[in-house]
Amino acid sequence: MSKHKNIFFLGYSGHAYVAIEVARANELNVLGYFDKLKNIQNPFNLLYCGIENDTEFKKKVKNAYVFPAIGANNIREKLHRLLIENNIEQIVLIDPSAHISNSAVIGESTLVNPNVSINSLATIGNGCIINTGSIVEHECLIDDYTHIAPGAVLAGNVKIGKNCFIGANAVIKQGIIIADNVTVGAGSVILNNITEKGIWVGNPAKQLLKK
């Protein structure tokens, strides 16, 4: 049972659209959004509430959750830190179609999209995105602000650092450890540990070194 019935969003574009629908699937009432600019398309007819760092922000979001719904890991991290600094109520948004083991732990302000599976004893940090249809197997550890894109598969005991992006349909072999700030390309297959930040692509994945 959620403590509040209402929620505001930080950000209102593609990624937020999915998060808003997940919130509604959890019977939360979406009151509006904060962003730098008003979204002209406004597909969900939401109220524009201004920017999140004005002096009235805390007052405006009283008695509601606030969810940082920005795809870029570094911006989502900033917004999550703003929520902590202002002692604002956070929530984990999990689509009802996701399978979450009772022994899994999921941090605040993380979004779990439709048809995800998170298995036994997996631990997921704060402000992560576990995107549509991805699989997080037993005992995986995913650190804060990491995005697991649609269809990616993390086999058992995989450890992924902070601020990583694991591309759509990537596969990470069991037991692999990935450092902070790593990007894995769409469809790539990781068979060895990645110990430094950078971009890895292909099968088996190799570091992408820009010319």
Ligand X SMILES: CC(=O)SCCNC(=O)CCNC(=O)[C@H](O)C(C)(C)COP(=O)(O)OP(=O)(O)OC[C@H]1O[C@@H](n2cnc3c(N)ncnc32)[C@H](O)[C@@H]1OP(=O)(O)O
187 near ligand X, rule: CB under 6 A: yes
CA distances from 147 to 6, 71, 105, 132 (A): 25, 8, 16, 11
Which residues line the annotated binding site? 13-15, 71, 147
Smallest distance from the beta carbon of 57 to ligand X, in angstroms?
A: 28
How many other CB atoms are there within 10 angstroms of residue 160's CB atom? 29
* Whole-number Å distance between alpha carbons of 5 and 159: 34
Smallest distance from the beta carbon of 51 to ligand X, in angstroms?
A: 25
Region 149-178 residues binding ligand X, contact defined as CB under 6 A: 149-150, 167-168
146 near ligand X, rule: CB under 6 A: no
Is 4 marked active-site? no
125 near ligand X, rule: CB under 6 A: no
* Whole-number Å distance between alpha carbons of 166 and 2: 30
Contact 192, 174 (CB under 8 A): no
Candidate list 121, 186, 189, 197; residue touching ligand X; CB under 6 A: 186
Smallest distance from the beta carbon of 203 to ligand X, in angstroms?
A: 8
188 near ligand X, rule: CB under 6 A: yes
Contact 86, 105 (CB under 8 A): no
Smallest distance from the beta carbon of 188 to ligand X, in angstroms?
A: 5
Q: Is 117 or 131 the residue whose CB approaches ligand X more closely?
A: 131
183 near ligand X, rule: CB under 6 A: yes
Phi and psi at 21, nearest 5°, equal -70, -35
Q: What is the CA radius of gyration of the chain?
A: 17
189 near ligand X, rule: CB under 6 A: no
* Whole-number Å distance between alpha carbons of 77 and 89: 16
Q: Is 105 or 201 the residue whose CB approaches ligand X more closely?
A: 201
Residues that bind ligand X (CB under 6 A): 131, 149-150, 167-168, 183, 185-188, 199, 201-202, 208
